[in-house]
């Protein structure tokens, strides 16, 4: 299933239908736990944080709770709905949202950011990972935090670029399983990823 997501993730319309499954996936694993620990230890209250591809707010919400000024860049309306729902559930206010894709946002719009954070999101930009990362550097934040899954030869994080140098790097193997409440739910998820209904043989498999 992961390979199917990789090919579709750069298509914005994919996330409009996939938000439901993203929410369910997040509820049943601890994928972001170590990432969250890192970014919350780095950020300071009153810092300006730009979260590119913020999704449902798994990183934006704790940073806002810490007192950061957070802007969540999330072009998917369905994913922004999840963010707003989670803000209400957690009693968090004050997160600004930007519904434009990162590649369409002028760099000067957020050139006062203390941290620009991109967690598994830059490869979804139409301009490609490297061009999207270059734009992050051009915005001149104090810190850049990039998290990515190494499933493509195009995803390469430079050790030094545009006056920035890598301060910390780590590779983690993280479990990322889905959980289903019944077999029909699993088949529905499969259908979304594959874009078709499974055959009887595939259902059995």
Summarised one tens digit per residue, pLDDT across range 61-93 is: 999 999 999 999 999 999 999 999 999 999 999
Q: Under DSSP, is residue 18 helix (H, G, I), strand (E, B) or coil?
A: helix
Cα torsion angle, 161, 163, 169, 174, sign: negative
More confident residue, 171 or 76: 76
Q: CA distances (Å), 83 to each of 31, 41, 51, 77, 174, in order?
A: 17, 22, 12, 10, 23
pLDDT at residue 193, rounded to an integer? 86
Instruction: Inform me whether the pLDDT recorded for 1 exceeds 60.
Output: no
Q: Under DSSP, is residue 90 helix (H, G, I), strand (E, B) or coil?
A: helix
* Contact (CB, 8 A) for 183 and 194: no
Report the percentage of the chain scoring pLDDT > 90: 65
Residues 176-191: tens digit of each pLDDT: 788 899 999 999 999 9
Measured between alpha carbons, how far is 109 from 130 in angstroms, rounded to an integer? 20
Residues 87-136: tens digit of each pLDDT: 999 999 999 999 999 999 999 999 999 999 999 999 889 898 999 999 99
Mean pLDDT taken over the chain? 90
Q: Under DSSP, is residue 16 helix (H, G, I), strand (E, B) or coil?
A: helix
**Strands 69-73, 115-119: parallel, antiparallel or unpaired by DSSP?**
unpaired
Angle, helix 12-27 to helix 77-90, in steps of 10 degrees? 30
């Amino acid at each position: 299933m992961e390979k199917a997501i990789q090919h579709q993730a750069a298509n914005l319309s994919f996330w409009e239908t996939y938000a439901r499954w993203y929410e369910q996936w997040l509820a049943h694993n601890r994928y972001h736990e170590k990432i969250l620990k890192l970014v919350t230890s780095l950020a300071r209250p009153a810092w300006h944080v730009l979260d590119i591809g913020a999704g449902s707010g798994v990183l934006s919400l704790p940073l806002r709770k810490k007192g950061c000024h957070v802007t969540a860049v999330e072009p998917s309306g369905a994913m922004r709905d999840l963010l707003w729902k989670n803000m209400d559930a957690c009693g968090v206010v004050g997160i600004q949202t930007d519904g434009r894709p990162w590649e369409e946002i002028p760099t000067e719009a957020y050139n006062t950011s203390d941290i620009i954070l991109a967690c598994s999101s830059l490869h979804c930009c139409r301009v490609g990972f490297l061009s999207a990362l270059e734009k992050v550097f051009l915005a001149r934040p104090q810190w850049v935090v990039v998290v990515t899954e190494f499933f493509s030869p195009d995803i390469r994080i430079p050790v030094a670029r545009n006056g920035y140098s890598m301060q910390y790097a780590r590779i983690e193997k993280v479990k990322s399983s889905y959980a289903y409440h019944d077999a029909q739910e699993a088949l529905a998820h499969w259908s979304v990823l594959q874009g078709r209904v499974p055959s009887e043989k595939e259902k059995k498999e």
